Structures are given as C-alpha cells and as structure tokens.
Amino acid sequence: MFNKVLSKSTIIMFLFDLTIFVLSTLFWYTKFRLPAEHLVIVLLLSVLTGIVVLFLKDNYKVREFNISSKNYYLLFEGIIISHVPLLIFLLIINHNLQTFEFIGLNILTVYIFLAAYRNLFHLYLFKFKKIKNVLIVGTNKEARLIADEIINKKALKMQVIGFVKDNDEDNIINDSNTKIFDQEDLKEVIKNNNINIIIVAIKHRIEESILTNMVYNISNNIKVYKMPDFYEMVTGKYYVSKMSINWLFYDFMNRRSILYNFCKRTFDIISALIILIVTAPILVYIGIKVKNTDGASPIYTQNRVGKNGKIFKAYKLRTMYVNDYKPKDGKIEHTESQDEDDRVIPFCKFIRKARLDEIPQMINILKGEMSIVGPRCEWEDLVKIYSKEIPYYQCRQWVRTGWTGWAQINQGHCVSSDDIAEKLQYDLYYLKHKNIIWEIGILIKAIFLALGGRHD
C-alpha cells in the first residue's frame, strides 16, 4: 500500500528517475553507435528494470533517504542490479568492448543524477519545506501515541501545536510545556496557529455539539483524519485497540471475495512451483552437506499454527545440529534471536538469512496449508504464549499464514513479546488491505531481500 502523505514526493521522484534512465541510455547508446534496430528494447529494459529494482530496494521511500554512505551504496547497488538484464541482452547481440563501456558509463551517469536529486530533495525537505501544523483532538493515550509518531518522524515535516481537551475522558497529557485547548476555543486556535491538519483521537462516541462545533470551525483547506487512519498512513501498521479490532472485523468480512480467493490460490500454486524448481539444485546441495555434518536427516517438520488455529506440520531444511533445545537463559517460553543461537551449523547462517531453509514450505503451500504471502506461521508452543501475552494475537489466524509477508519485509525476525506485538500490527494492516497486486510486490521484495541476505 502507498502512503498518501508521501505520494506526491514519490511520484515526482519516480518521473525524474524514469527521465534519467531514458535520456542517459539514449545518449550513450547513440554515442557508441550500437545497433539502432535494438534501441527500443534497450530503452524498455533499462527503464523497466531500473524503476522496478529501485522500488523493490525501497529507493522510493524518499523521506527516509538521508545523507549516509549506506543509502548511497544501496542506490548504487540497485542501479548495478538493474543493468544486469540489459548487459545480458547486449552481450547476445553485440559482444564486444563497447557493450561494457556503454553499461559502465550508463551506470555512472544514472547514479550521479539520481544521487544528486535525492541529495537535493533531502536538503529541500529539511531546510526549506514548510512545516505543517497539526492539532490533535483528544488528550488520551492515543493522542499521545500519534503525537510521538509525528515528533519522531522528522521527515514528515509536521509539528504538533497542541491538544484539544475532551471533557469526557481523563487528561493523561499533563506536561507543563504542552498546550491543551478547550473545545470552545477551537476556532481561535485554528486561526492563530495556522493549523493544516487535525487528527481526532477520541475513543468514545463524540457528542453532537462537539461534532457540530468542528464542522462550523474547520475550513475546507484543513485535512481531518481519524487517529487510526493517520497512524496507518505514517507507519504502515494497524492501530490495535478494542474498537479498531471491531472495525477490522467488519472490513475483513465485507471484503471477502470468491474471485480474490481463486486468484490468491492460483498465485500461491504458480509461485510455489517456480520457487521449488529454480532452487531445487541448491536445496539438494545444502541437504547433502547438512546430512554429511552429523548424519541426521536434512529435512524436518515442526508443528505450526495456520488458518483458524489449525495445526499442521511445516517442512524445513535443517540448519541446526541435532540436539535437545536448551535456551541460554534457562527459560523455555521464548527462543533466542538467531544471531545468538549457537545451535546453528556455521555454514547455514547465510542459508537462514536468505530464507533457503524455509523453501520446503512450498510443499505446505501446494497442500493448501499455507500461502506465499500472509502472517508468518509460528511454532505451536510460541503461539500459545503469544496468545496469552498479546491482546488480539489470534486475529492473525483469520487468513492462511505465509512464507513471507508485510511484517517480514518490514520488521524481519523477532522473538520478544514487544516485537511480536509490533509485528501483529503489520499483520493486521495486511488483513485490512490485502490484494493480489500488493502481494506480488511483497513476494518480489522478499526475494530481493533474501538474495541480499537481508530477509531475517
């Protein structure tokens, strides 16, 4: 899903990148006098692979781009990867030194212009862009939460002017430096503080007099959001509360579709077969090497929890030595993070990072026990613990669990209850917004992360 707050900046950057790919490729291709009859194909390969790769590598999260060597490296890496299909095509039709010179200069030109634009955008964003003033209606914990999100996300270029007190709820915001206004002063507050955005963070049903007062005093140029909706836009997560779970239930039930289910199942089967066929030689090699390590079977099963709480046996490629599980801290309720787990066979650490050990789960997908995209399927014992510790955790079982998902590509591997609670927010966001096009994008993004060893 796309962040509505950031969409204008993303579109401008997308169009700029597209223009640079076209102009640079056209210039250098003509300069080296490469075969004119293949120009259209070369342009299409350059532009399409370039834009898609940069999108999958998060280069269009423009407000998160900062002046760091890591971001510049990731941009350069993305441009190089995007030129691989173009290089292969050119070597087939024109295998000489000119091909490598063209590719090298095109990579360098595209990188310089794209990096320069991002640098200028960063400068504009933090030095010149006008800050939007935000007024939050409500003084409860939800109001405090969304205020903290705005304060922490400096790239939003928003500042919280203050809070409008709701007389029917406790005022938990009592910081002396925080401005709290009365409902009766709403018109003057908006006028005097040049308010651009109002976020309503009231949990209970709002009184008619308050609603009428807001309608009278909030002009057309001011955007008004419900707190949960705004929270989704700036975080990509679902705000979890007793009321929001009720809303999610109705959204989920009313968006059920036979067509979606058919497309989803078709997508699962086709994707699982392709992944199995492509990775079969690698899996066989890893399996033999694991077998030779300690003599035990390279494949094992583990009880996982799927849709509607149904237990199934998930297939995995073994990456640990055969022994009884003994946590380092002596506690049995949670497992360590994989970076601290000394049971992992040394050469299998990258295999786990690249998610190769979970490719046998394609069998579970073909059997209909899992999906390619969905909430992560968790170990049965952990689900029992999380269900007790984390409110509404079982809601993620409304759909088939997935090999990858929105939570996995945003948060990665985690085991603590706090992190799992945050992962639940990503999972519920997926439940609300799921659609096939988005899920195809999630799968492609997951594959790119796995190939780079970044899909924990």
Q: Give me the domain span that covers residue 217.
A: 132-235
Asked if the structure places residue 240 within a domain, the reply is no
Q: Indicate the residue among 173, 202, 235 that finishes a domain.
A: 235
In total, the chain counts a number of residues equal to: 456
Asked if the structure places residue 225 within a domain, the reply is yes
What are the pLDDT tens digits along the chain (456 aa)?
434 444 577 788 889 999 999 999 999 999 998 889 999 999 999 999 999 888 877 777 755 556 778 888 888 988 999 999 999 999 988 778 889 999 999 999 999 999 999 888 888 888 888 899 999 998 888 999 999 999 988 878 899 999 998 766 666 776 767 888 988 889 999 999 999 999 999 877 787 888 898 899 898 899 999 999 999 998 999 999 988 999 999 999 999 999 999 999 999 999 999 999 999 999 999 999 888 887 888 898 999 999 999 999 999 998 888 764 454 444 444 454 455 566 788 777 878 877 888 999 999 999 999 999 999 999 999 999 999 999 999 999 999 999 999 999 888 777 777 889 999 999 999 999 999 999 998 998 888 887 766 555
Asked if the structure places residue 241 within a domain, the reply is no
Q: Domain check: are 274 and 171 in the same one?
A: no
Q: Domain check: are 69 and 165 in the same one?
A: no
* CATH at residue 170: 3.40.50.720
Inter-CA distances, 437 with 187, 262, 370, 441, Å: 43, 14, 19, 6
Asked if the structure places residue 52 within a domain, the reply is yes
Q: Domain check: are 300 and 173 in the same one?
A: no
Helix axes 84-93, 97-123, angle to 10 degrees: 160
Asked if the structure places residue 456 within a domain, the reply is no
Q: Indicate the residue among 96, 128, 160 that finishes a domain.
A: 128
Q: Domain check: are 340 and 434 in the same one?
A: yes
Q: Domain check: are 215 and 316 in the same one?
A: no
Assess contact for 407 and 423: CB atoms under 8 A.
yes
The sign of the torsion formed by the CA atoms of 60, 64, 67, 73 equals negative
How far, in Å, CA of 206 to CA of 108, rounded?
A: 57
Whether the model clears a pTM of 0.75, i.e. scores above it, the answer is yes
Number of domains in the chain: 3
- Report how far Cα 404 is from the mean position of its chain's Cα atoms: 11
Q: Domain check: are 118 and 156 in the same one?
A: no
Asked if the structure places residue 11 within a domain, the reply is yes
Q: Domain check: are 424 and 447 in the same one?
A: yes
Q: Indicate the residue among 83, 106, 128 that finishes a domain.
A: 128
Helix axes 417-433, 242-254, angle to 10 degrees: 40
Asked if the structure places residue 242 within a domain, the reply is no
Q: Domain check: are 280 and 429 in the same one?
A: yes
How far, in Å, CA of 339 to CA of 329, rounded?
A: 15
Q: Domain check: are 325 and 425 in the same one?
A: yes
How far, in Å, CA of 405 to CA of 326, rounded?
A: 29
Q: Domain check: are 87 and 227 in the same one?
A: no
Q: Domain check: are 142 and 267 in the same one?
A: no
Asked if the structure places residue 250 within a domain, the reply is no
Q: Domain check: are 315 and 427 in the same one?
A: yes
